[in-house]
Amino acid sequence: MGPVRTRFAPSPTGYLHIGGVRTALFNWLLARQAGGQFILRIDDTDSERNRAEALQPILDGFRWLGIDWDEGPEVNGPCAPYFQSQRNERYVQAAMILLEKGHAYPCYRLPAELQKEREAAEKAKKPYVHRGEHRQTSPEECLRLYREKKAALRLKVPDEGVISISDRIRGVVEWQASLIGDPIILRPDGRALYNFATVIDDSEMKITHVVRAAEHLSNTPVQALVYRALGAEMPEFAHVPVVNEPNSKKKLSKRDMKKFLTPEVRAKLMAVGWTAEAIEIRDDLNPATVAFYKELGYLPSGLVNYLGRLGWSLDDKTEIIPLADMIHNFSLERVNNSSASFDPDKLFWVAGEYMKNLPLSEKVEKVIPFLQRAGLLNAQPSEAERKKVQTIVAACGDRLKLFSDVLSYGTPFFLKDPLYETKALSKRVAKEGVPDLLREFSAKLRQLPDYSVPTLEQALRDFCQEKQINTGLVIHALRVATTGIEVGPGVFDCLHILGREESIRRIDLALELATPPAPGQ
């Protein structure tokens, strides 16, 4: 066997599905570990859609995640083309060889007739195994018949015997050949069927490891028979367990993804600037797709780590596995054989762990687009503005788990006036004695020698000490007065970011709002 070559063969559906990425990732890891090649092949045999448009989101998704391909769309390679729709003549050619060699035969039965037979068998509680009448016809005669009148071409399945494959994840799996009906490999119009096309492609592309979703396990005996008939070398098979819906044993389906677009999900998307209409049009924006996480500002490295750990583990305790370690340590033998539920909470946590380790400068770069989209920053931020963003991001610290979190923590620093939460204002500012304290402290702010975080903190502590009051009282009041909200970076960071004049202006503004003029005045 030559160098390790793995592949992922998505249909151009217009989005990159989470479950698919996991399978692709395992393939990619295997290839990278062995210094082999990872191939992207597009299964577009039945696609009537605009291919370029439906393919782009998939390529974008992989690129965003850093999963690169050595051969495939846009990069090409020695086995081009990498679109099944452009490879049909190869399938026809291969089918003709099987016909000549007596491994295939034409079948003139109509689908409707077969359907009836199937139903009859079902009623009789007997397995339905289709065997066409031309199974015994000589290859020469079959070829003559086929030339005379095109028909569906069926593969001859042995009458008896066991088809056995050794799956790298499942172990040995066997099927009775007598229970497998002769499958169609070519339609009367010459279009190949999946089970046939896949084998031709995998064989021609010298794929050494077919790592795919477990739902393909049942296709494998037929494919094994095609390899055998072709006289081609069989690749290693590894069927990875499917990814289930959160908290469910149901497969995370590509169909019916709309149900993941819950009100909460919609709210998250709208918080980062998507309108309800845009979400409707971009029907791929939901938690089952990669694009969703990109839009919400998840770190791609976090998503890759999470997906890699879903169904595979390094040992009994490691959760955070840098990509290089994952490449180095990945093995099919440690892939679980039971299906796994996708857990958005854990993904969120992993993404946060990666964010903690991201250099500040990178956070700043990645956060800027979210601020721009929200209209808080213009398209060409000045050096001063970038500096301000940096200060804000630094002040956010570990609170920033997603890039979009900059909106919940940073917005008050970009608005002209804070958006005051009424409740917070009445709870923290419009409170017995607090307005006077704020006024006094505000006056102190004016006199500070500088406006740094330590100076501010010292000033406040001294002030509270002097007044014999709890520091929290003033701190909470200050935070609400200057940012409008109760949660966020440390209050001294907030004051520092705003600067002296703006801090004081906002305190005055809050006091105005919180203390309505006394009646009669």
- Positions annotated as catalytic residues are 254
DSSP 3-state assignment of 388? helix
CB-nearer residue toward RNA: 115 or 136: 115
Work out the angle between the directed axes of helices 453-467 and 434-447 (0-180°, nearest 10).
Answer: 130
Q: How far is the CB of 258 from RNA (least distance, A)?
A: 18
Q: How far is the CB of 394 from RNA (least distance, A)?
A: 12
Give the count of alpha carbons within 13 A of 472, CB side only.
2
Name the 3-class secondary structure at 391: helix
Of 208-267, binders to RNA (CB under 7 A) are 214-219, 241-242, 244, 247, 249-251
Q: How many residues bind RNA (CB under 7 A)?
A: 89
Residue 160 is a binding residue for RNA (CB under 7 A):
no
Backbone dihedral region for residue 22 (phi beyond 0: left; psi -120 to 50: alpha; all else: beta): alpha
Does the protein bind RNA through residue 471 (CB under 7 A)? yes
Cis peptide before 188 (omega within 30 of 0): no
64-123: contacts with RNA (CB under 7 A): 84, 107, 109-111, 114, 118, 121-122
CB of 380 to RNA, least distance (A): 31
Q: Please report which residue ranges of 379-421 form alpha helices under DSSP H.
A: 383-396, 405-410
Q: Smallest gap, in angstroms, from Cβ of residue 501 to RNA? A: 21
Segment lying near RNA (by CB under 7 A), choices 133-141, 260-268, 276-284, 475-483: 475-483
In the complex, minimum distance from the CB of residue 464 to RNA, in angstroms, rounded to a whole number: 10
Q: Strand pairing partners for 237?
A: 167, 210
Q: Which pair of tokens denotes residue 328? A: 């180095």
275-294 positions binding RNA, by CB under 7 A: none
Give the position of tokens 């976090």. 302
| 476 sits near RNA (criterion: CB under 7 A) | yes
Look at residues 98, 132, 96 and name the one whose alpha carbon lies nearest to residue 229: 98
Question: For residues 175 and 292, which CB has a smaller minimum distance to RNA in the complex?
Answer: 175
Q: How far is CA 433 from the centre of its chain?
A: 52
Question: Contacts with RNA in 321-350 (CB under 7 A)?
Answer: 334, 336-341, 343, 345-346, 348-349
* Smaller CB separation from RNA, 151 or 261: 151
**Residue whose CB is less far from RNA, 23 or 274:** 23
Helix (H, G, I), strand (E, B) or coil at 286: coil
Tell me how far apart the alpha carbons of residues 429 and 434 are, in angstroms, rounded to a whole number: 6
Smallest gap from residue 249 Cβ to RNA (A): 3
Work out how close the CB of 198 gets to RNA at its nearest, in angstroms, rounded to a whole number. Answer: 8
481 binds RNA (CB under 7 A): no
Q: Which stretch binds RNA (CB under 7 A): 50-58, 290-298, 313-321, 415-423?
A: 313-321
Q: Quick one: which of 203, 193, 142, 286 has its CA closest to 5?
A: 203
Is the CB of 44 or the CB of 71 nearer to RNA?
Answer: 44
| Number of helices (H), then strands (E), in the chain | 22, 11
Based on the number of CB atoms within 10 Å of its own CB, is 54 exposed (0-12), middle (13-18) or buried (19 or more)? middle
Q: Is 250 helix (H, G, I), strand (E, B) or coil?
A: coil
The only residue of 51, 373, 399, 467 in contact with RNA, by rule CB under 7 A: 399
List the x/- string, 115-154, binding to RNA by CB under 7 A: ---x--xx--xxxx-x--------------------xx--
Helix (H, G, I), strand (E, B) or coil at 105: strand
397 part of the interface to RNA, by CB under 7 A: yes
